[in-house]
Amino acid sequence: MKRYDAVVVGGGPAGSTTAWRLADAGASVLLVDKARFPRDKPCGGGLTIRAVRQCPVDPSPIVEEEVDLVELRFRYGDSVLRHARTPVIRMTQRRRLDAFLLDAAREKGVEVREGTTIDAADVPADVVVGADGANGTTARALGLGAGIVHGVAYEGNVGYGAVDRARYDRRAVVELADIPGGYGWVFAKGDHVNIGVGAWQSEGPRIREHLARVCEAHGLDPSQLENLRGHRLPLRRPGTRIANERGLLVGDAAGLIDPVSGDGMYECFLSSRYAAEAILAGDLASYEGAVETALAPLHRASWKLKRALDRWPRTSWRVARTELLWRSVERLLLGDLSAPGEQHGVARIPLRALELLSRT
């Protein structure tokens, strides 16, 4: 049986870009996924510019919409519209993105096997990369990821016609302060909008009700939504092991979802980079530290904002709608800041206010 430098389990963005990076450096890589591509995957489908900057493959061919308008709303009423100086999000669909990145890995020399499963405890490779997402089994097989907790999301699509295209053109709408531990969203795509909600896992029994309220706030009957799907949002707690001498976890399999936004694309591309570097250096132990250094400041700030919105929604909203806070959010989306703590001067005032609210 052929032996590989690495076997990657999972062909999503984190797995494909890890394999791409390894193959680009000359490593022999096998990537397996139980699905056949293209396949759909629950996800809002937004690529922030900071995520695009970390992706080793230019995703432009599968981008359907660019967003430079961010509309924040408080409990489906009070709202503020922020204009970014340049697009801050590039919208696509996961079925297109994942197939595109998998093809790029294949073209780079990765051996790809679709519709295939593999026993992580008995793979023909020096290293196993767990990239099989929130519901994957590789983490458990490697003895990793025991400290990951979960949120929950539910979403669907509705075509233009049922909604006014001009209303959502180049726009991301975020509904705040009505859903415990999360928010609602409406994202513009090529021929439809994606509507969804994310929340604490404890909100699972009520997640359909939350989505229905978002639909109604936008003049839709919930029955108009198509391709409805739910999924778990894995959240890594500090100290959770995501690497050992046998392998490591990347992306959602490692719980690297931003706690407040629910976005994991930036984290998946960043973790794929650090994973490839650790594997190529023969130093898997360095991976956890690299991920912690890069993401801990951002995720600590996100947890604080999440707590502030849950505990003091109206006061947090007054802070969130300020122009000062938008300056920080825009720089984060663009990748000019890697964490809110890097912001200085007067623009740091609303960030400090939200931090204090989270502690009260």
The one-digit pLDDT tens for each residue of the chain (360 residues) are 689 999 999 999 999 999 999 999 999 999 999 999 999 887 888 999 999 999 999 999 999 999 999 999 999 999 999 999 999 999 999 999 999 999 999 999 999 999 999 887 788 899 999 999 988 999 999 999 998 999 999 999 999 999 999 999 999 999 998 899 999 999 999 999 999 999 999 999 999 999 999 999 999 999 999 999 999 999 998 889 999 999 999 999 999 999 988 899 999 999 999 999 999 999 999 999 999 999 999 999 999 989 999 999 999 999 999 999 999 999 999 999 999 989 888 888 888 898 898 887
Cα 123 from Cα 126, distance rounded (Å):
8
H-helix segments, the chain? 13-24, 49-54, 94-108, 138-142, 165-168, 207-217, 265-281, 285-311, 313-320, 323-334, 349-359
The H or E element spanning position 112 is strand 111-114
DSSP string, 270-332: HHHHHHHHHHHHT-THHHHHHHHHHHHHHHHHHHHHHHHHHHSHHHHHHHHTSHHHHHHHHHH
Name the CA dihedral angle for 111, 113, 118, 120, rounded to a multiple of 10 degrees: 40
Q: Write the CB contacts of 336 (distance below 8 Å, at least 6 apart in sequence).
A: none
Task: Please list the residues that pair with 184 across neighbouring strands.
Answer: 175, 197
Q: Write the CB contacts of 240 (distance below 8 Å, at least 6 apart in sequence).
A: 145, 146, 147, 148, 255
pLDDT of residue 317: 93
Cα 23 from Cα 106, distance rounded (Å):
9
Q: pLDDT per residue over 20-39, tens digit each? A: 999 999 999 999 999 999 99
pLDDT of residue 329: 94
Structural domains of the chain, with CATH:
4-58+94-149+235-298 (3.50.50.60), 300-359 (no CATH)
DSSP character for 251?
G
DSSP character for 256?
B
156 within 8 A of 34, measured Cβ to Cβ: no
User: What tokens were used for 323?
Assistant: 């122009």
Angle of helix 349-359 relative to helix 285-311, nearest 10 degrees, comes to 80
pLDDT of residue 346: 85
Cα 130 from Cα 10, distance rounded (Å):
7
pLDDT of residue 92: 95
Cα 38 from Cα 60, distance rounded (Å):
17
Cα 309 from Cα 179, distance rounded (Å):
10
pLDDT of residue 124: 87
User: What tokens were used for 13?
Assistant: 């963005």
Cα 185 from Cα 215, distance rounded (Å):
10
What is the reported pTM?
Answer: 0.94
29 within 8 A of 6, measured Cβ to Cβ: yes
50 within 8 A of 335, measured Cβ to Cβ: yes
pLDDT of residue 351: 86
Indicate the SS3 state at residue 102.
Answer: helix
DSSP character for 351?
H
What does R_g of the chain's alpha carbons equal in angstroms? 20
Percent composition of the chain: helix, strand, coil (DSSP 3-state, to 5): 45, 25, 30
Indicate the SS3 state at residue 9.
Answer: strand
